[in-house]
Structure 1
Amino acid sequence: MTLSRTRKILYWTVPVLLVAGLALGVLRALDKRATKAEQARSAAQALQTAPVYEIGAADVVRVRTLALQQTASVSGSIKALQTVAIKARVAGEVQGLNKREGDSVAAGEVVARIDPTESQARVRQAEQQAESALAQVRIAQRTQSNNQALVQQGFISGTALDTSQANLAAAEANHRAAVAALDIARKGLGDTVLRSPIAGQIAARAVQNGERVGLDARVVDVVDLSAFEMEAALSPADAAAVRVGQKARLQVEGLSQPVDAGVVRINPSVQPGSRSVLVYLRLPAVAGMRQGLFARGEIVAGSQQALAVPASAVRNDRPAPYVQVVREGVVRHVPLPEGGAPRGLLDGVPQQAVPMLAEGEVVLGATAGAIRDGTRVKLAAAAN
């Protein structure tokens, strides 16, 4: 009887325990699933919520009204204001050329000679021809004087007197021609001496002593380093604002300090190919400056008041340049006006005019990097 009762209890207890275990497992699975769903919803909400970036004071600038210097960029090689190529004015052998590159010469100093032997012979020949012509003039004068006396006495006719007068005129003309030939020969002898017309330094030596050169052959180049000039090509738009007398600041290759310059001339015509306008700037002599050095800089063409930010704040990673403006804690991309806005300098720092913004607006600087339009940001206390 007891065994039967025990079997009966086990018969009903085991199924109940199995059902209870199954129910507990189902409850645990449902609870785990609900937890995962909640975590997924939280993650989705976190992805939908845009992050808030904190912007430091060093990463923002404010729009200010500034007096911008209107400038025109220039570049080119500087040249000595006076450069002379001394050439042979007669053909012959070079002699007495002792100057070399870098040597100084004074104005009028003899730098070389051309062998004068042939020129001296031409001078002597011309002198003899002039003396011979002068002797013919004297003979013709005596003949003329004698004929005048004979005509008065009636021994010869007037026709003979006219003939002697013509002979005298021809002799005088031959004498003048001989004297002119003598002057030419003496000039040729003087041209054998090559003098420097300016004071300066030898920049190039094209020939050596004993070398025979032809007419107009270059012998040496002399450069005066007391003043320099630079020729710069400007676009017609930039050249329109440039005037004679305006100042410029140039950085010359190899020099640590910038050099002040001034506009001295403007070419009245544009260049046929490039359509550029040539502007000439005068530079003072500075220690270490040499002809041919490259220089670049800015011509200050005027000044104007404008709302501006540093030019580095303008971003160009899109087809149209823009600035990143913080409005009510949100970054907005504001493009520059179509056609561009003027640029200028303030204490040597490039500035960009931003007429589409208001005074005091916050603009992200170059150090802030690119931030997506519509991103919420938080400005540091020092930037507010």
Structure 2
Amino acid sequence: MPAAMPLRPKLLVLSCLAAALAGAAFLAFGARAADDQKAAPAPKAALTVTLTQAQTVRLPIRISANGNVAAWQEASVGTEANGLRLAEVRANVGDVVKRGQVLAVFAPDTVQADLAQIDAGVAEAEATLAEAAANAQRARELQPSGALSAQQVTQYLTAERTAEARLQAQRAAARVQRLRLAQTQVLAPDAGVISARQATVGAVLPAGQELFRLIRQGRLEWRAELPSSDLARVKPGMRATVAPVSGGAAVAGTVRVVAPTVDAQTRNGIVYVDLGASPDTKAGMFARGEFDIGASQALTLPQSAVVLRDGFHYVLKLGPGSRVALTKVGVGRRAGDRIEITSGLDAAAKVVAAGAGFLGDGDTVKVVDASRSAAAN
């Protein structure tokens, strides 16, 4: 029977065998990990996008303001006739009237009767003057002969002058009555639009009572309130665009005058803007508008490239490995589909042109050429 193997050599053999097996297992695991790493797919693109770069364009400089729409000038149309009855009203609120158009008529009966009486007095005064003139002429002819005394001649000449004065007074009274007769018709002092009416048929009105209120020539103006810091930048003749807050189409306007004073409490001044004709714009409306005061160069992006998150504006800038980085930017003016970038972006940087709202910081994107994308669509 062979002799038994010593214990120490046996343990040494077992240790070598175990080490060999562990090394083989490690090599096998490393090879498998390398194969797995080679087989791992690249990160999947979150979205297919097109890129754009900021462009320098010329943008208009505008100043925004608020204010009320008011009549350019209003005319108060009243009665000059005193104590007459209003017989007819021919105009109402909203009517467009011409200068000299009859708006209302007072009953003329009393004035016509007074005029007839005055005309009779004129005829009587004319007859009296004719008799006095004849007597005065005879007195002048007889004065050299001494047939009449100097006192009698003076009386005849004085009677002539008195009759002439009475005739002038009667004619003046007749003119007054004819003027009162003309005042029984209330005429429009200017062309425009009737904005208010107090006239009531049958009312007996005193002189000076307002019957109508008229927006002269139908012209409206926008009284914009501007801070004193902006007031000096607005000049007469500048263009403005005004839109009623209550809705309706915007209307073009032109600055007529800038108020020479500023309110001591609000530090605001008034800019008066003549408005064009618009059926949506009414006196008394509150409106917002902008003054076009010029233009300047600005770095701009399409508005679709800028997203608003948590009250701040961001763009998604393309980085290495087709990953996008969320970049905060400052924005300014807007014109059409362009928005001004005031800070936070280099002009050479490439950003996602559209769909930025669906991406997050660090997302991987697939970039396609904008012209090919448009052709495919």
Same-fold call, TM cutoff 0.5? yes
**Cα gap change, 1:257 to 1:238, in 2 (>3 Å):** same
Q: Which residue of 1 aligns with 2:34?
A: none
Q: Which residue of 2 aligns with 1:251?
A: 243
**Cα gap change, 1:227 to 1:164, in 2 (>3 Å):** same
Matched, 1:118 2:118: no
Whichever residue aligns with residue 59 of structure 2, its letter is L
For structure 1, list consecutive stretches of 5 or more residues without a partner in the other structure.
1-54, 370-376
Q: Which residue of 2 aligns with 1:302?
A: 294
Considering only aligned residues, what root-mean-square deviation do their CA atoms show, in Å?
A: 4.6
**Cα gap change, 1:290 to 1:323, in 2 (>3 Å):** closer
Q: Which residue of 2 aligns with 1:37?
A: none
Identity of aligned residues (%): 23
Q: Tell whether the 8 Å contact from 1:323 to 1:363 is kept in structure 2 after alignment.
A: no
Secondary structure of 2:89's counterpart equals coil
Whichever residue aligns with residue 160 of structure 2, its letter is L
Which of 138, 143, 146 matches 2:130? 138
Whichever residue aligns with residue 347 of structure 1, its letter is G
Which of 335, 346, 349 matches 2:335? 346
**Cα gap change, 1:57 to 1:239, in 2 (>3 Å):** farther
**Cα gap change, 1:271 to 1:239, in 2 (>3 Å):** closer
Matched, 1:178 2:170: yes
Q: Which residue of 2 aligns with 1:88?
A: 79
Q: Tell whether the 8 Å contact from 1:88 to 1:219 is kept in structure 2 after alignment.
A: yes
Whichever residue aligns with residue 77 of structure 2, its letter is I
Whichever residue aligns with residue 72 of structure 1, its letter is I
Residue by residue over 1:7-51, the C-alpha shift from the partner in whole angstroms, topping out at 9 and shown as x without a partner, is xxxxxxxxxxxxxxxxxxxxxxxxxxxxxxxxxxxxxxxxxxxxx
Q: Which residue of 2 aligns with 1:47?
A: none
Residue by residue over 1:130-177, the C-alpha shift from the partner in whole angstroms, topping out at 9 and shown as x without a partner, is 334333432332232122112121234556545544443343333323
Aligned residue runs from structure 1 range 192-231, under 5 A = 192-198=184-190, 202-223=194-215, 227-231=219-223
Q: Which residue of 2 aligns with 1:233?
A: 225
Q: Tell whether the 8 Å contact from 1:104 to 1:202 is kept in structure 2 after alignment.
A: yes
* 1:216, distance to aligned residue in structure 2 (A): 1.9
Q: Tell whether the 8 Å contact from 1:80 to 1:225 is kept in structure 2 after alignment.
A: no
* 1:300, distance to aligned residue in structure 2 (A): 0.3
Counterpart-to-counterpart distance in 1, 2:162 and 2:337? 79
TM-score by structure 2 length? 0.62
* 1:65, distance to aligned residue in structure 2 (A): 3.8
Q: Which residue of 2 aligns with 1:69?
A: 60
Residue by residue over 1:228-247, the C-alpha shift from the partner in whole angstroms, topping out at 9 and shown as x without a partner, is 33222323332322223222
* 1:113, distance to aligned residue in structure 2 (A): 1.6
TM-score by structure 1 length? 0.61
Which of 283, 292, 296 matches 2:275? 283
Residue by residue over 1:162-198, the C-alpha shift from the partner in whole angstroms, topping out at 9 and shown as x without a partner, is 5544443343333323322221221112111123345
Q: Tell whether the 8 Å contact from 2:242 to 2:289 is kept in structure 1 after alignment.
A: yes
Counterpart-to-counterpart distance in 1, 2:156 and 2:326? 112
For structure 2, list consecutive stretches of 5 or more residues without a partner in the other structure.
1-45, 368-377
Counterpart-to-counterpart distance in 2, 1:316 and 1:119? 79
Q: Tell whether the 8 Å contact from 1:108 to 1:197 is kept in structure 2 after alignment.
A: yes
Matched, 1:169 2:161: yes
Q: Which residue of 2 aligns with 1:33?
A: none
Secondary structure of 1:96's counterpart equals strand
